[in-house]
Structure 1
Amino acid sequence: MRLRLQLFEFEDLPWFPAVIRAGMMDYLRFMISGLNTYQPIVPLLREALLATGQQQVLEVCAGAGGGTEGVALALRRFPELAQLRVTLTDLYPQPAAWQLLSNQTSGVIGFEPEPVDALAVPPHLPGFRTVFSAFHHFPPAAAEALLRDAVRQGVGIGVFEGAGKHWLEILLAWTVLPVAQLLITPFIRPFRLSRLFFTYIVPLIPLFTIWDGTVSILRMYPPEQLLALAHRADPEQHFQWQAGKVRHAWGPEVTYLTGRPRTA
């Protein structure tokens, strides 16, 4: 699917209730982590980290941190990345969810509690930047600005979307995934009564998740568009860029873009 529609997602809206946003983010974290959505990109990220000499990852637009734990622990199994640390940031921080990840990883995953704009990351937050399941939120001008900020500060960046942009994925968002959400919600941690209320009594979390999940796929940039954005953000070609898709052994795809300074 090459079609890209710049529709809106409720979780992007400043007035959207924080309790609903948190419920949606917690569900996504649980599903992405449970399905090991981002395991196929571990070799790509390892190569980029070694090429840039980085042991620090700065995740921007982290949401609730879905998939980060599995990827971080997989990378630390390589001796050359045994000291890897991850810092989670977001414009809408989720400290309760992030603290859970920090506890589960004995501090391998940390976080910045203050809001962080991915288009202008403060210099005191170093590291190879990653964007998981969030780059599609940015329209082209903002997406370019996000990449340009990494180029300006001379830090590598990896953009990863846990889908291949297919119509089948939209069908799953309408059918299978809502049923899964109803089944797994009681097991999501940290426990929140509000999550149960807005899932089963007033089902706003599932309804908004269906809308945002559908729009996410329609807003995704395919690899050729990711490369075009990167080249516009880096017209002097200071970075080496690579884009494509990698596939799970059981079928699903991950779309990616990586960039690193040529001088690295």
Structure 2
Amino acid sequence: MAPLVPRMHVFEIADFPWCPNFLRAYFQAALTAAWTTHIPLLQTSSPAQLVARLLSTHMTNPHSHVFIDFCAGGGGPTPSIEKHLNNNNNNKSKSPPIQFVLTDLHPHTDLWAQAVAQSSPNNNSLSYVREPVDAAHAPRELVAKYKRQGKKVFRLFNLAFHHFDDGLARRILRDTVEGGGDGFGIFELQDRGVAGFLSCCLFGLGTLIMAPYYAFLWGAPLALFFTYVVPILPVVLVFDGWMSCLRTRTPDEIEALLRTCGAEGGEAEIAKWEVKSGSEMFMWPVGSVNWVICVKK
């Protein structure tokens, strides 16, 4: 059912260049924690683990793909998705690990190097690209590199696609269709429904409760000051979360963009792609992963 609120391409505070980098790093770390945290009894799984299960379930052979995160930010959930998907894969077969690649228009190579070191340093299942990568103009050599290895390329957009206006979103989808892509996945933790807005409030409450633990984990005591004394972190996280809700597209809206992305070959080319979508709850009553998985037939 279509949401009552129309999509609005509003602003988010963390997107502005004047937002201090150290605060933006806290925001990114908090969002990564939201993706990767699994609280027994409250959650059936972490959202990242759920995404790994969705990829394993709705893709014919994920092992034949390389998964490239085109908006990795500080790392986000992709390192955790890689671990869970490869753990599932290793339980089923002894095949080489599935490869994941971190890229971004603004690379965070220091953070990515840490993620690679903490992931699977002996099997090269997680790597990154040092140079800036534009999702609307992905380097052809990046895709060709894995094509030569006999792999298909699947593009990941974790909590990212809602940031693109319609024009940029169409260019990204066109680049996927024409640039040798074999599939893409869009995963969001919010939507334009009531549950989406309530989940952002719950996220703000969770920030207040968990701040001491994560401040210690990150070695960032200043995060406590901006949580309890000057509560910038919870306020901005909730506000930006609401703005993200307003910006998030439904699966039908994403499919409409795909069909109007102007790809060479027109409707006949787009007809070669199969779109699957859904919403999977990881925490009752409002925590859900809203997803679109599109693969070339």
* TM superposition score category, shorter chain reference: 0.7 to 0.9
Which residue pairs with 2:273 in the alignment?
240
Aligned AA (1:48):
M
Work out the CA distance in 1 between the residues paired with 2:34 and 2:219.
Answer: 16
Q: 2:103 aligns with which of 89, 102, 112?
A: 89
Q: 1:30 aligns with which of 20, 30, 33?
A: 33
Q: Write the deviation string for residues 46-80 of structure 1: whole angstroms up to 9, x where unpaired.
A: 343727931x2110112233322332122212237
Shift of 1:96: 4.2
Overall identity of the aligned pairs, in %: 28
Helix, strand or coil for the counterpart of 2:267? coil
Pair 1:22–1:249, CA change in 2 (3 A): closer
Shift of 1:194: 4.3
| Contact 2:276–2:293 (8 Å) recurs in 1 | yes
Shift of 1:253: 2.9
Number of aligned residues: 260
TM-score by length of 1: 0.86
Which residue pairs with 1:117 in the alignment?
134
Pair 1:53–1:213, CA change in 2 (3 A): same
Matches within 5 A, 1:5-154: 5-35=8-38, 36-46=46-56, 47-48=58-59, 50=61, 53-54=64-65, 56-76=66-86, 77-78=88-89, 79=93, 82-107=96-121, 108-126=125-143, 127-154=153-180
Shift of 1:250: 4.4
Pair 1:31–1:14, CA change in 2 (3 A): same
The structure with more radius of gyration: 2
Work out the CA distance in 2 between the residues paired with 1:51 and 1:32.
Answer: 21
| Contact 1:227–1:241 (8 Å) recurs in 2 | no
| Contact 1:49–1:128 (8 Å) recurs in 2 | no
| Contact 1:33–1:69 (8 Å) recurs in 2 | no
Helix, strand or coil for the counterpart of 2:61? helix
Q: Write the deviation string for residues 122-172 of structure 1: whole angstroms up to 9, x where unpaired.
A: 223334210001100111111111111111112121111123442133133
Pair 1:219–1:164, CA change in 2 (3 A): closer
Gaps of 5+ in 2: 39-45, 144-152
Helix, strand or coil for the counterpart of 2:131? coil
Helix, strand or coil for the counterpart of 2:35? helix
Helix, strand or coil for the counterpart of 2:260? helix
| Contact 2:138–2:179 (8 Å) recurs in 1 | no
TM-score by length of 2: 0.77
Higher relative contact order (CA 8 A, sep 6+): 1
Asked whether 1:220 is paired with 2:248, we answer yes
| Contact 1:75–1:81 (8 Å) recurs in 2 | no
Gaps of 5+ in 1: none
Q: 2:196 aligns with which of 169, 185, 201?
A: 169
Pair 1:197–1:172, CA change in 2 (3 A): same
Q: Write the deviation string for residues 228-264 of structure 1: whole angstroms up to 9, x where unpaired.
A: 11111243343413142131364433222223334xx
Aligned AA (1:245):
G
